[in-house]
Structure 1
Amino acid sequence: MQHEIISDAILVSRYIKGDETALETLINRHKQKIYSFIYSKVYDKDIAEDIFQDTFIKVIRTLKKGNYNEEGKFLPWVMRISHNLVIDHFRKSNRMPKFDNAGEFNIFSVLNDTSLNAEGSIIKDQVEKDVRRLVDELPADQKEVLLMRIYDDLSFKEISDKTGVSINTALGRMRYALINLRKIIDKHNIVLTN
């Protein structure tokens, strides 16, 4: 008979008390979810591996220093660390994130990928207002494409026809708008967590 599953919180406290195998169990338990999340942002196995390693280096340092807040849930906390490292990666490399213009674009995918919980839904309206303010900080050409795409739900072909630029230019502006929006969000320290 299998022994019962030990909770993340217990494993964390065991690791803090010096049980190295507890961390291994935690990493194995959440590895797939965290790695998939990172890969879905960077689309590159090597970079995803690096960010995954860095995430756990940061987790270990924080736990060793005793700075982990027991109140928090372990997985969302680790996901936030990896999310911040992904943002750092894009900032440092100044590379455009891959942007899938076929899929539905939702402003919350820029802010965070965790689904909103009940409290989150309450602040959703406020955040959308804040986001509108942030969008106003974008250069005019990027702002125009972003608003047409998100708020008017136009396709890139329609945006191209309306603005008189090629579809590629419209896509490029959208990509830059997203990158800049991430930077602005980061600057204002806006975080939506579940």
Structure 2
Amino acid sequence: MNPFENLSDEALMIKYMEGEYFAFEVLYLRHKNKIYSYVKRRINDANSAEEIFQNIFLKLHRSRAKFDPKYLFLQWIYTLSKNEVIDFLKKKKIILTRFEDNFEIGELDKTSFEGLDIIEKSNLDKKEKKALVLKFFQEEDYETISRILEVKEAYARKIVSRGLLKLRKNWEDK
């Protein structure tokens, strides 16, 4: 069993920043499909999408010292991804009118930067944010979430439920 397998993304980034290069491999394997899909949906050319995808992980490597572990890793890598796509489109002189704006409470788009941003900026506590990201963006089951959060499975369900209720309330109040 891989010693890094059960670490959170944020813990893996800390290890990577400390020189544990295997932590990067775990992050890459964990997120490569999601990031590639994110890019591919926005760039219809497979060669360009592959180039952008490689640039994202190169940029992650080069800017790893800038990562702040108090924020979600997924938000950070999707920000890198979004910026790489925008830079590509600007270079190609393609007008980008807007990025996906399809976030609806209860139907979190698994690769939506906006959904991650809404969670990060919400008034949820750190465990609620982490639980929602694990459940809806990393598609983890409650057993895994409970192990990562170091709580019982029933309490992990409660944390996710409470987080969704708070998000709904915030959404309705706006």
Figure out how many residues of one structure are paired with residues of the other and give that number: 112
Larger Rg: 1
Instruction: Quote the RMSD (CA, aligned, Å).
Output: 3.1
2:39 maps to: 38
The gaps in structure 1 that reach 5 residues or longer are: 100-104, 123-194
Alignment of 1:45-60 (within 5 A): 45-60=46-61
Q: TM-score, normalised by structure 1?
A: 0.49
Percent of residue pairs identical: 33
Q: Specify the code of the residue in structure 1 equivalent to 2:101.
A: F
Q: Specify the code of the residue in structure 2 equivalent to 1:14.
A: K
Higher relative contact order (CA 8 A, sep 6+): 1
1:83 maps to: 82
Change (3 A) 1:79 1:10: same
Alignment of 1:45-194 (within 5 A): 45-63=46-64, 66-95=65-94, 108=101, 113-115=113-115, 117=118
Alignment of 1:20-35 (within 5 A): 20-35=21-36
State the alpha-carbon separation in 2 of the partners of residues 39 and 29 from structure 1. 17
Write out the 4+ residue segments of structure 1 that deviate beyond 3 Å after TM superposition.
1-4, 116-122
1:159 maps to: none
1:19 aligns with 2:20: yes
The gaps in structure 2 that reach 5 residues or longer are: 103-111, 124-174
Q: Specify the code of the residue in structure 2 equivalent to 1:62.
A: S
Offset at 1:54?
A: 0.7
Change (3 A) 1:21 1:119: closer
Tell me the SS of whatever aligns to 2:94: coil
2:108 maps to: none
